[in-house]
Amino acid sequence: MNSKSNTNLQELYTTMKRIRVFEERVAELFVRGETAGSMLHLSIGEELGPACVTKAMIDGDTFTTHHRGHGIFLARGGDPDKMMAEIAGKKDGYCKGKGGSMHIADMSLGHLGANAIVGGGIPTVVGAALSYKYLNKKNVSIAFFGDGAMQQGILYESMNMAALWKLPVVFCCINNQYGMGTKIDDAVAVKDFSLRAKSFGLECLHVNHLDAEKAYTDIREIVDNTRNNKPSFIEVECYRFYGHARKDKSPYRNEDEEIENRKLDPIAFAKENILTQNILNEEEIKSIEMTVDKEMDVSMNYAINSPLNEEAEIFTDVYDKSYTIESVDSRINNILKNK
């Protein structure tokens, strides 16, 4: 191996590969009938954005994701065992199986929650960033969303507030070209989303290539600038390799389009660069791939073998623990007595 110590490519490749294989195992989990529901939104083909943006984050940064957020959380340090168990609706999942694929959260990793509502998680980061500015912290809060959210009013309200108050917010659009079954060409008149963000005074970055190392360098720069209370907007273009959800066979796309656009594979591009630059050889890359395969096989089996919750579990984590039936009855009685 003739490794280049100043490159991030090996780490980025590994992260992207972990995302890809995790999503493949989620699909397999569904085929086995082991998932909690069928609305599983895979991010295969979108790995570059999550890998590069999360690598630019530091301890104390927070983020929200959309319904297609498995890869983002995994790249930020999510435990694949607990993630897979959550997707399976099992007791050992992040939210004890009650959140499922679209509502995973982990405050300890700064994950303020995934949201199945298009654009629903965006305003949360404005509140988080306001606290950072108030407390004089050099942290950012990042909202990840798809191109479909670019048509939501809440995004523009949030952009305006972040710009007006000069908050350390990053709005990150993972543009996979489709909002469910609607191609972006049929949804927007002007496809340059940066023009919208610039109108609010945000600093903008448009990543429309497959070079993960260059993307990371540019993303790191704009994220670091955001730490100085300069809100920003990042658009990462990619192609969603499969349908909107696991059961969607994408009849709205023709086969030629899919074949051609699946060539836009950031993982294959990174692998070729690693070999060309003599960072790793074929055998070393194969070792990484085998390690990732084994890791995700373990996670899938962990989810399958994780127990289901007792039925009573549905009533936990709903109210403050101090508000038991007995305590509420007691408070009501005291109120009535004092009338």
Question: What is the gyration radius of the CA atoms in the chain, in angstroms?
Answer: 21
**Residue 280 in tokens:** 């790793």
- Percent of the chain beyond pLDDT 90? 78
Q: What are phi and psi of 7, to 5 degrees?
A: -105, 145
pLDDT for 91-147, tens place per residue?
Answer: 999 999 998 999 988 999 999 999 999 999 999 999 999 999 999 999 999 999 999
Residue 10's contacts (CB-CB under 8 Å, 6 or more residues apart) are 3, 274, 279, 280, 288
Q: What pLDDT was estimated at residue 39?
A: 83
User: Rounded mean pLDDT of 222-248?
Assistant: 93
pTM of the model: 0.90
| Within a domain: 1 | no
The Cα–Cα gap between 326 and 272 comes to 64
Is 92 part of any domain?
A: yes
Nearest Cα to 284, choosing from 14, 87, 5? Answer: 14
Which among 45, 14, 47, 42 has a CA at the least distance from the CA of 28? 42
With cut-offs at 50, 70 and 90, classify the pLDDT of residue 309.
confident
Number of domains in the chain: 1
Q: Looking at the domain assignment, is residue 4 inside a domain?
A: no
Q: What is the pLDDT of residue 7?
A: 87
pLDDT of residue 235: 98
Please state which of the ranges 7-21, 50-64, 103-117, 306-320 shows the lowest mean pLDDT. 306-320
Q: What pLDDT shows up at residue 325?
A: 65
For residue 185 the two structure tokens come to 């060409």
Within a domain: residue 182? yes
Is residue 134 in some structural domain?
A: yes
- Which of 213-227, 253-267, 289-303, 310-324 shows the lowest mean pLDDT across its residues? 310-324
Residue 162: pLDDT band (50, 70, 90) is very high
Judged against a pLDDT cut of 80, whether residue 322 lies above it is answered with no
Taking residues 217-224, report their average pLDDT: 98
Task: Tell me what the mean pLDDT of segment 157-175 comes to.
Answer: 98
Alpha-carbon span 197 to 190, nearest angstrom: 13
Lookup result for tokens 């991030």: 8
Residue 3 lies in a domain: no
Answer yes or no: is 237 within a domain.
Answer: yes
CATH (domain of 180): 3.40.50.970
- What average pLDDT does the segment 48-58 reach? 98
Is a pLDDT exceeding 90 seen at residue 182? Answer: no
Q: Is the dihedral of CA 116, 119, 120, 124 positive or negative?
A: positive
Residue 245: per-residue pLDDT: 83
Identify the domain containing residue 59 by its residue range.
9-337
Looking at residue 179, what is its pLDDT?
87
Three-state SS string over the chain comes to: CCCCCCCCHHHHHHHHHHHHHHHHHHHHHHHCCCCCCCCCCCCCCCCHHHHHHHHCCCCCCEEEECCCCHHHHHHCCCCHHHHHHHHCCCCCCCCCCCCCCCCCCEHHHCEEEECCCCCCCHHHHHHHHHHHHHCCCCCCEEEEEEHHHHHCHHHHHHHHHHHHCCCCEEEEEEECCEECCEEHHHCCCCCCHHHHHHHCCCEEEEECCCCHHHHHHHHHHHHHHHCCCCCEEEEEECCCCCCCCCCCCCCCCCHHHHHHHCCCCHHHHHHHHHHHCCCCCHHHHHHHHHHHHHHHHHHHHHHHHCCCCCHHHHHCCCCCCCCCHHHHHHHHHHHHHCC
Residue 310 banded pLDDT, cuts 50, 70, 90: confident
Q: What is the pLDDT of residues 1-47, one digit of tens each?
A: 444 556 899 999 999 999 999 999 999 999 999 998 778 999 999 99
User: CA 161, 165, 167, 172 torsion: positive or negative?
Assistant: positive
In the block, tokens 């290539």 appear at 209
Residue 165 lies in a domain: yes
Mean pLDDT on 308-316: 85
Could you give the CA distance from residue 14 to residue 218 in angstroms, rounded to a whole number? 20
Helix axes 266-276, 212-226, angle to 10 degrees: 110
